[in-house]
Amino acid sequence: MNTLKVLCLSLVVSLTFFEARAASFDGSEPLLCASVEAYDCSAGWECFKGTSESINAPQFIRLDFEQKLARSTRLGGKERTAKIESITQEGAKLILQGVQLGLGWSMTISQENGAMALTAAGDQVVFVIFGACTPL
């Protein structure tokens, strides 16, 4: 069953990449980002590879650049909102940063194709999520 979920999500993300090629990833319009692959790493242990749900991270994140907010909904329906403290364009990348639940986070979005990498770091723990974004 989990393999089917991963395959379906991979298909959605693949379609997102094709749609995203003509889209703007410069922070001028809201984006929806989907998680594809996730890692949970603790100091002194090997990293655990899984899905966003397996590390208690959101599968989808909505980015509102006008309000500088990142919004997500957990599997149980609980919504979380994080303030985007910093938005920077560096080369062909859009870089967002903020703080939530004692973790510092950073998200990098390719302005060429919407590919996304998100990291969140705390005391002796790091979460890494790879995915893709598309305009809402």
Q: 48-106, pLDDT tens digit by residue?
A: 999 888 888 889 999 999 999 999 987 777 889 999 999 999 999 999 999 998 899 99
Q: Which helix (H) or strand (E) holds 115?
A: strand 115-122
pLDDT of 27: 86
- Quick one: average pLDDT of 101-121? 95
Domains along the chain with CATH numbers: 2-135 (2.40.160)
Mean pLDDT of the chain: 84
Q: Where are the alpha helices (DSSP H) in the chain?
A: 2-20
pLDDT exceeds cutoff 50 at 20: no
Token representation of residue 127: 């979460």
Rounded distance between C-alpha atoms, residue 8 and residue 94, angstroms: 27
pLDDT of 6: 46
CB 113 within 8 A of CB 8: no
Q: Token pair 């950073």 is at which residue?
A: 106
Positive/negative CA dihedral, 33, 34, 39, 42:
positive
